[in-house]
Chain A
Amino acid sequence: MEKIYERPHSLIEERGNSFCPGCMHGVAGKLIAEVLDELGQQENTVIVYPIGCGAMNGLFIEADGIVALHGRAPATATGIKRSAPEKLVFTYQGDGDLASIGFAEIMHAANRGENFAVFFVNNSIYGMTGGQMAPTTLEGQKSTTTPMGRNIETEGAPMHMCELVSALERPVYVERVALDTPAHINAAKKAIKKALQNELDCKGFSFVELMSNCPTNWGCSVEETLPFMKEKTLKEFPLGVYKDKEEA
């Protein structure tokens, strides 16, 4: 019988993953593994993981990598890529990691036009530390440090990283995708592949934001995260291509 689907070789076989049930970090990790297979890059890859739930993908994706310090993945990736340009290097970061503590590092790596890709998983909350407010938390959204809901008068408004990064001169490709529906997941995989192909073609800096969920810390069922994303998160964070130097 013809095999039409199999487990990506770039995923470690004997394990599933240890994310909470329904967490989309696992979907993102699987898509990355599939793309590494398709590009034949598993053996040539160095993944720069964040501090945050996303780092657990390092336990399941069978590739070299380093867990960078909280927020500093773009700096660490700069050191790796500049020293070993033949490697396929990319960061995988959460929203606390990238948009809060690591804001300077992401903006400056983007502004230098480093030749690597960044995958930014936006679940609008700090997952690993137990559900505190992230820079991407929605107005009115409850978290363990905004028990009454985020008040933009005192906590500021959600930060839109694709919009900020695409305002810079040097990035070549910036897109926001989502992981909530099969159609969105297909589009997300295309974006991941495009970003990595850009790097292989030495085109420069690509940034893909992956809209995600956090059932555990949003305090709802897995099913409930889907309408929340559709009606709330994706309204605040519109999907689309924010910059593509090819298309321009």
Chain B
Amino acid sequence: MERKFMKGNEALAEAAVRAGCRFFAGYPITPQNEIPEYLSRRMPEVGGTFVQGESEVASINMVIGSAYTGTRAMTSTSGPGLSLMCEGLSSLAGYGFPAVIMDVMRGGPGTGSIQAAQADYLMLTRGPGHGGFKALVYAPADLQEAVDLTGKAFDKAWEYKNPVFVAMDGCIGSMMEVVELPETRSFEREEFPIYSTTRFGQVDPKRRLSTSMIISEPEQEKWNFIIAEKWAEMERKECMVEEYLTEDAELVIVAYGTSARIAKAAIDQLREEGRRVGMIRPVTIWPFPYDSIRKLDSSVTKKLFCLELSVPVQLIQDVQIGAEGRFEIETYGRTAGQIYTTDDVTEKLRGMMK
């Protein structure tokens, strides 16, 4: 373990290297630029490869190529770049390839704003691309958690042979904090089995011929069942959540990332005033911790409050699914770098609780 005072994006890049990442391709976009900048210096030191792609489209396809060889590969981007990558992201899932994608979120829609926001919730959690695929999405709330989840993201991508996202808002990427960095893990290129269908759909164990379009329709359908089962398994096993003072809470905030960090400070203040407020913080935004909402006692909890750096608030769609109509739901969203302070949040909550 090494303790260091680091800027978020650089700590994330270093965490990726220490998790065995040896290939990075990416295209400049604020607020994630320090990730490729750092890796352009760092990759050569560990015998890895850094490529500045000509676009996000090219970058994700480079990652696909590197993943094919069994290399731990990664890209990073923000909203507009993520949109451009969608075909490649869907195809990583379609090929059954592991890779890590860091999304340092800014405002949207469109070019939006370069300032920190949490604008990609629905895109990430519904599978960013065509075909109804799914991928784990880790949403850290501070830099230490971001570093820790980066290592986990690589392990899970390799365990499931599926893309994994680490989604931070720009605050986490841009701030400086003390972090404990893990030991560097060495990772050899490791060719994994490929669902190879050379001879008109028969699986050919001798060949590594990868395609996300299998010519034989029955083989294609079989493959769909295989990957769908994998996504179902992730949904059963990989959900992570923090429940903070929810048991007696009259009002439960649902928030992730930096919003959850602000919410926590607000809760601590309100608790001192004797107000019973708690929080459900999804650590994975897919799979979403529906059970944490389902198990709330509606004779105690009256209201849910979605706090998100997005206008309109996006995570309400999942909160509604978990709430099953049992709770009143209110929202508070800001965007374009207009970040609510702890006082803004406490004031809102006091108003709601009377």
Task: State the CA gap A108–B73 with chains docked (Å).
Answer: 20
17 inter-chain pairs at a CB distance below 8 angstroms, sorted by A residue, are A55-B211, A58-B209, A59-B198, A59-B199, A66-B211, A69-B91, A72-B57, A78-B51, A79-B25, A79-B62, A79-B66, A80-B69, A82-B62, A83-B23, A84-B71, A87-B69, A104-B54
B88 is an interface residue with CB less than 8 A from chain A: yes
The CB with the most chain B CB atoms within 10 A, among A48, A62, A77, is that of: A62
Instruction: A67-B209, A79-B51, A81-B65 given; name 11 further pairs at CB < 8 Å.
Output: A12-B198, A15-B200, A48-B65, A51-B213, A62-B198, A64-B209, A66-B211, A72-B61, A76-B62, A76-B65, A82-B23
Q: Please tell me which one of the listed residues B62, B209, B210 contacts residue A75 in the complex, with CB atoms under 8 A apart.
A: B62
On chain B, the number of residues with a Cβ less than 8 Å from chain A's Cβ atoms is: 38
Q: Which residues of chain B in 18-58 are interfacial with respect to chain A, using CB atoms and an 8 Å cutoff?
A: 22-23, 25, 49, 51, 53-55, 57-58
A68 is an interface residue with CB less than 8 A from chain B: yes
The CB with the most chain B CB atoms within 10 A, among A49, A51, A79, is that of: A79
Q: Please tell me which one of the listed residues B51, B69, B209 contacts residue A84 in the complex, with CB atoms under 8 A apart.
A: B69
Are A66 and B68 in contact, with the CB atoms below 8 A?
Answer: yes
Task: State the CA gap A48–B317 with chains docked (Å).
Answer: 41
B271 is an interface residue with CB less than 8 A from chain A: no
A37 is an interface residue with CB less than 8 A from chain B: no
Write the nearest CB–CB distance from B203 to chain A, whole angstroms.
Answer: 14
Are B23 and A72 in contact, with the CB atoms below 8 A?
Answer: no
B64 is an interface residue with CB less than 8 A from chain A: yes
Query: Which residues of chain B come closer than 8 Å to A59, judged between CB atoms?
Result: 198-200, 215
Are B58 and A83 in contact, with the CB atoms below 8 A?
Answer: no
B12 is an interface residue with CB less than 8 A from chain A: no
Question: What is the count of residue pairs linking A and B with beta-carbon distances less than 8 angstroms?
Answer: 115
Write the nearest CB–CB distance from B46 to chain A, whole angstroms.
Answer: 14
B189 is an interface residue with CB less than 8 A from chain A: yes
Write the nearest CB–CB distance from B90 to chain A, whole angstroms.
Answer: 9
With known contacts A69-B61, A80-B68, A58–B88 Cβ distance under 8 A: no
Are B54 and A83 in contact, with the CB atoms below 8 A?
Answer: no
Query: Which residues of chain B come closer than 8 Å to A49, judged between CB atoms?
Result: 211
Tell me the nearest residue of chain B to A66, going by C-beta: B210
Tell me the nearest residue of chain B to A78, going by C-beta: B62
Are B65 and A83 in contact, with the CB atoms below 8 A?
Answer: yes
Are B66 and A80 in contact, with the CB atoms below 8 A?
Answer: yes
Q: Please tell me which one of the listed residues A66, A78, A80 contacts residue B209 in the complex, with CB atoms under 8 A apart.
A: A66
Are B71 and A12 in contact, with the CB atoms below 8 A?
Answer: no
Task: State the CA gap A63–B210 with chains docked (Å).
Answer: 11
B338 is an interface residue with CB less than 8 A from chain A: no
Task: State the CA gap A194–B212 with chains docked (Å).
Answer: 31
Query: Which residues of chain B come closer than 8 Å to A108, judged between CB atoms?
Result: 54, 58
Task: State the CA gap A113–B163 with chains docked (Å).
Answer: 29
Write the nearest CB–CB distance from A4 to chain B, whole angstroms.
Answer: 29
> Nearest 4 CB-CB pairs, A to B?
A79-B65, A75-B61, A72-B61, A79-B66
Are B91 and A84 in contact, with the CB atoms below 8 A?
Answer: no
A236 is an interface residue with CB less than 8 A from chain B: no
Are B209 and A83 in contact, with the CB atoms below 8 A?
Answer: no
B219 is an interface residue with CB less than 8 A from chain A: no
Tell me the nearest residue of chain B to A79, going by C-beta: B65
A149 is an interface residue with CB less than 8 A from chain B: no
Task: State the CA gap A62–B209 with chains docked (Å).
Answer: 9
Taken residue by residue from 198 to 209, chain B's Cβ proximity to chain A (1 for < 8 Å, 0 otherwise) reads as: 111000000111
A residues near B, CB below 8 A? Answer: 12, 15, 46, 48-49, 51, 55, 58-59, 62-69, 72, 75-84, 87, 104-105, 108
B87 is an interface residue with CB less than 8 A from chain A: yes
Query: Which residues of chain A come closer than 8 Å to B277, judged between CB atoms?
Result: none
Are B207 and A64 in contact, with the CB atoms below 8 A?
Answer: yes
Write the nearest CB–CB distance from B55 to chain A, whole angstroms.
Answer: 6
Are B211 and A79 in contact, with the CB atoms below 8 A?
Answer: no
Are B23 and A67 in contact, with the CB atoms below 8 A?
Answer: no
Task: State the CA gap A72–B91 with chains docked (Å).
Answer: 12
B105 is an interface residue with CB less than 8 A from chain A: no
Query: Which residues of chain A come closer than 8 Å to B15, judged between CB atoms?
Result: none
Are B211 and A58 in contact, with the CB atoms below 8 A?
Answer: yes
B316 is an interface residue with CB less than 8 A from chain A: no
Task: State the CA gap A83–B315 with chains docked (Å).
Answer: 38
With known contacts A79-B25, A82-B51, A83-B71, A69–B87 Cβ distance under 8 A: yes
Query: Which residues of chain A come closer than 8 Å to B88, judged between CB atoms?
Result: 69, 72
B63 is an interface residue with CB less than 8 A from chain A: yes
B143 is an interface residue with CB less than 8 A from chain A: no
Query: Which residues of chain A come closer than 8 Å to B49, judged between CB atoms?
Result: 82-83
Query: Which residues of chain A come closer than 8 Å to B199, judged between CB atoms?
Result: 12, 15, 59
Write the nearest CB–CB distance from B253 to chain A, whole angstroms.
Answer: 41
B252 is an interface residue with CB less than 8 A from chain A: no
Tell me the nearest residue of chain B to A89, going by C-beta: B65
Task: State the CA gap A247–B118 with chains docked (Å).
Answer: 56
Tell me the nearest residue of chain A to B64, going by C-beta: A76
Task: State the CA gap A51–B61 with chains docked (Å).
Answer: 14
Are A67 and B25 in contact, with the CB atoms below 8 A?
Answer: no
With known contacts A72-B57, A76-B64, A83–B69 Cβ distance under 8 A: yes
Write the nearest CB–CB distance from A233 to chain B, whole angstroms.
Answer: 29
B67 is an interface residue with CB less than 8 A from chain A: yes
